[in-house]
């Protein structure tokens, strides 16, 4: 499963039982936490997130609504006896903030905590399935988005053809990587006779808090699922600009220009109790848009 | 009204929808916040606490479950446009923790924030109604309790007697302070003829996180309402001692020795889902005991 579960969809002031930003990204059996507003650990309990499966946490920027729940989560991991390594990818000043708080509590975490400061645009995580990179967006303080991109998938084997050519299963791995098979008799079975192209790699982009920025669309060309903030409705464009946030129309425009497959919008201002208008404004520009609703999981596909 | 509303009654790991420690103490029209675990601002919304009425916040110690919600609350006050002064009484290292977080967010609060570091045992707040003092308790890191004590109340006027002696209402204030009244003719109307003793001053003691400490009972002799932690049931006494926490029996013993009028127990360990046993163990030692339940207000009387 490649998907994202929303734990918080509100902007800075928690209201209407909407919470500050946090998301869990599933890439098959791995869980990644993206931002961690106050109360994230309680939201994890509410929505039955298997927090022990999280080994990597990404913090976009140091406005409190994106990280004030982190030190509580890290402390709870300690109290729960976690021993597995945990990696934090975050703006550099967070390291000292965490250190001071653990020192003040005289806490020594029972697990290794690794801190990787975000810098520029680069790959920050990679395994056999996925590459995660950070990219700078435009906010009032240094702020990064994160792009989760599946790696190129192996070729798909055509089981009928495998039988037809009597290829031993011990060679399947090489076939998936594009090799031809050569029989004992020396005959060449061409790879393309027994395989077909894999599904294209999928991708999820989290654009954090940002003013409208056309270059984001360039960078994310062809992204499968694009999360873009819509703190404000269209008529608050000046306010959005002054706070380095985005409106519905701006988010939809980024999705359109990026040729995204689907748009997910969130980080709603507390001035809006009812959210319908966010869809009403976004969909005429970019039809395949969904509201980020807490507790809901959105597949990347 | 002199009362306390519980916002969080659990120990460090939030569970069973119980939250980390926070309490609001009402002294007539003033609200005081005591400790501020993660999610306190959400609990305030849930229980309709008029947070703008809070001007003084007391933090007992720097274990996260007693203060991780503070920076979020302070930030939200800023976003809500608060301009009134706010005072924080807390262990000294908290100042830098807060400062770093506001610096990282490039936030300048729109209200004056005063930081008063706790030291030893002393009066830290006083107005015409109440005196608040801090006192050291015994925990794994420096930790303070807080004692809210009403000031000596004015004498009560006996209205029948006032009429009988025809004392002008302009003199009532002096009567309440104990003065005799002298008529135009020079006759002395003795104060005790027209007044009676006021109700005794009431008091609320918050004992924070602490190991069993007999000296607390000495210090709090005659307290009206005593909040004492009971992280553990009696059979976990060794565990309690090793973590510098208290059991049911220990809390009840402190209340008994202090000759408290009523005991309120909380800070329950996450190992206990059902809390009945806390009362079953406490009441045989100290009958007038209540569980601290979130959202419930307990009168000090």
In angstroms, rounded to a whole number, what is the distance separating the alpha carbons of residues A225 and A151?
Answer: 16
Per residue in A107-160, pLDDT (tens digit) is 999 999 999 999 999 999 999 999 999 999 999 999 999 999 999 888 999 999
Contact A95, A87 (CB under 8 A): no
In angstroms, rounded to a whole number, what is the distance separating the alpha carbons of residues A62 and A234?
Answer: 26
Q: Residue A283 belongs to what domain range?
A: 2-153+199-299
In which band, very low, low, confident or very high, does the pLDDT at B29 lie, cut at 50, 70 and 90?
confident
User: Residues A178, A263: one domain?
Assistant: no
User: Residues A207, A186: one domain?
Assistant: no
Given B172, B196, B220, the domain boundary residue is B196
Q: Is the pLDDT of residue B163 over 90?
A: yes
Q: Please tell me which residue of chain B has the smallest CA distance to A106.
A: B141
**pLDDT at res. A4:** 98
> Average pLDDT, stretch B77-103?
98
What's the alpha-carbon Rg for chain A, to the nearest Å?
A: 22
User: Residues A44, A135: one domain?
Assistant: yes
User: Residues B253, B235: one domain?
Assistant: yes
User: Residues B160, B228: one domain?
Assistant: no
- Residues of B classed as catalytic: 65
Given B196, B221, B250, the domain boundary residue is B196
Shortest alpha-carbon distance between residue B68 and chain A (Å): 7
User: Residues A54, A183: one domain?
Assistant: no
User: Residues B80, B163: one domain?
Assistant: no
Strands B225-229 vs B203-206: parallel, antiparallel or unpaired: parallel
> Average pLDDT, stretch B55-65?
98
B-chain residues within 8 Å CB-CB of A104?
62, 91, 93-94, 97, 141
User: Residues A180, A257: one domain?
Assistant: no
In terms of Cβ atoms closer than 10 Å to its own Cβ (0-12, 13-18, 19+), residue B171 is middle
Contact B64 A75 (CB under 8 A): yes
Shortest alpha-carbon distance between residue A62 and chain B (Å): 5
User: Residues B49, B188: one domain?
Assistant: no
In angstroms, rounded to a whole number, what is the distance separating the alpha carbons of residues A190 and A196?
Answer: 12
| A91 interfacial to chain B (CB closer than 8 Å) | yes
Given B196, B219, B253, the domain boundary residue is B196
Residues 6+ apart with CB under 8 A from A266: A6, A9, A21, A227, A229, A230, A291, A292
Q: In terms of Cα–Cα distance, which of A254, A260, A264, A150 is closest to A200?
A: A150
User: Residues A109, A134: one domain?
Assistant: yes
Residues 6+ apart with CB under 8 A from B191: B155, B175, B178, B179, B180, B181
> Average pLDDT, stretch A183-188?
92
Q: Please report the number of interchain residue pairs, chain A to chain B, with beta-carbon separation below 8 angstroms.
A: 95
User: Residues A184, A123: one domain?
Assistant: no
Contact A211, A138 (CB under 8 A): yes
| A163 interfacial to chain B (CB closer than 8 Å) | no
**pLDDT at res. A46:** 96
For the domain that residue B209 is a member of, what is the CATH number?
3.60.15.10
Q: In terms of Cα–Cα distance, which of B118, B291, B132, B295 is closest to B204?
A: B132
| A8 interfacial to chain B (CB closer than 8 Å) | no
3 state DSSP class of B244: coil
User: Residues A58, A169: one domain?
Assistant: no
Mapped to the 3 state alphabet, what secondary structure does B57-116 carry?
A: EECCCCCHHHCCCHHHHHHHHHHCCCCCCEEEEECCCHHHHHHHHHHHCCCCCCCCEEEE
Q: Is the pLDDT of residue B21 over 90?
A: yes
Instruction: Give the count of domains, chain B.
Output: 2
| Torsion sign (Cα): A18, A19, A22, A25 | negative
Residues 6+ apart with CB under 8 A from A278: A230, A233, A248, A265, A268, A272, A291
H-helix or E-strand spanning residue A8 = strand A2-8
Marked catalytic residue, from A29, A35, A65, A209: A65
| B12 interfacial to chain A (CB closer than 8 Å) | yes
Shortest alpha-carbon distance between residue A30 and chain B (Å): 24
Polymer length in residues for chain A: 301
User: What DSSP state is assigned to residue A134?
Assistant: E
Q: Please tell me which residue of chain B has the smallest CA distance to A100.
A: B97
In angstroms, rounded to a whole number, what is the distance separating the alpha carbons of residues A143 and A19?
Answer: 20
> Average pLDDT, stretch A150-179?
93
In this structure, the number of other CB atoms found within 10 A of the CB of residue A47 comes to: 15
ipTM greater than cut 0.85: yes
In angstroms, rounded to a whole number, what is the distance separating the alpha carbons of residues B249 and B234?
Answer: 6
Per residue in A242-291, pLDDT (tens digit) is 999 999 999 999 999 999 999 999 999 999 999 999 999 999 999 999 99
């Amino acid at each position: 499963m490649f998907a994202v579960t929303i734990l918080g969809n509100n902007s800075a002031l928690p209201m209407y039982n909407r919470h500050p930003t946090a998301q869990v990204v599933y890439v098959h059996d791995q869980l990644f936490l993206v931002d961690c507003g106050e109360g994230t650990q309680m939201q994890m309990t509410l929505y039955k997130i298997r927090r022990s499966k999280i080994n990597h946490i990404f913090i976009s920027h140091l406005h409190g609504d994106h990280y004030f729940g982190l030190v509580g989560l890290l402390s709870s991991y300690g109290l729960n006896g976690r021993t597995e390594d945990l990696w934090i990818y975050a703006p550099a000043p967070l390291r000292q903030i965490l250190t001071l708080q653990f020192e003040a509590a005289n806490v020594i975490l029972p697990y290794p905590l690794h801190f990787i400061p975000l810098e520029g645009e680069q790959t920050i995580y990679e395994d056999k399935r996925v590459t995660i990179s950070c990219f700078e967006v435009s906010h009032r303080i240094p702020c990064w988005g994160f792009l989760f991109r599946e790696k190129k998938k192996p070729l798909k084997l055509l089981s009928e053809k495998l039988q037809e050519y009597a290829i031993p299963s011990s060679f399947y791995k090489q076939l998936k990587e594009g090799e031809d098979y050569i029989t004992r008799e020396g005959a060449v079975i061409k790879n393309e006779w027994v395989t077909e192209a894999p599904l294209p790699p999928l991708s999820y982009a989290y654009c954090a808090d940002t003013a409208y920025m056309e270059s984001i669309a360039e960078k994310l060309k062809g992204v499968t699922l694009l999360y873009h903030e819509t703190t404000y409705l269209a008529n608050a464009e000046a306010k959005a600009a002054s706070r380095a946030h985005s409106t519905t129309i701006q988010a939809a425009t980024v999705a359109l220009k990026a040729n995204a497959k689907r748009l997910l919008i969130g980080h709603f201002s507390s001035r809006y109790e009812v959210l319908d208008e966010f869809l009403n404004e976004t969909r005429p520009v970019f039809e395949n848009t969904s509201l980020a609703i807490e507790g809901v999981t959105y597949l990347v596909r």
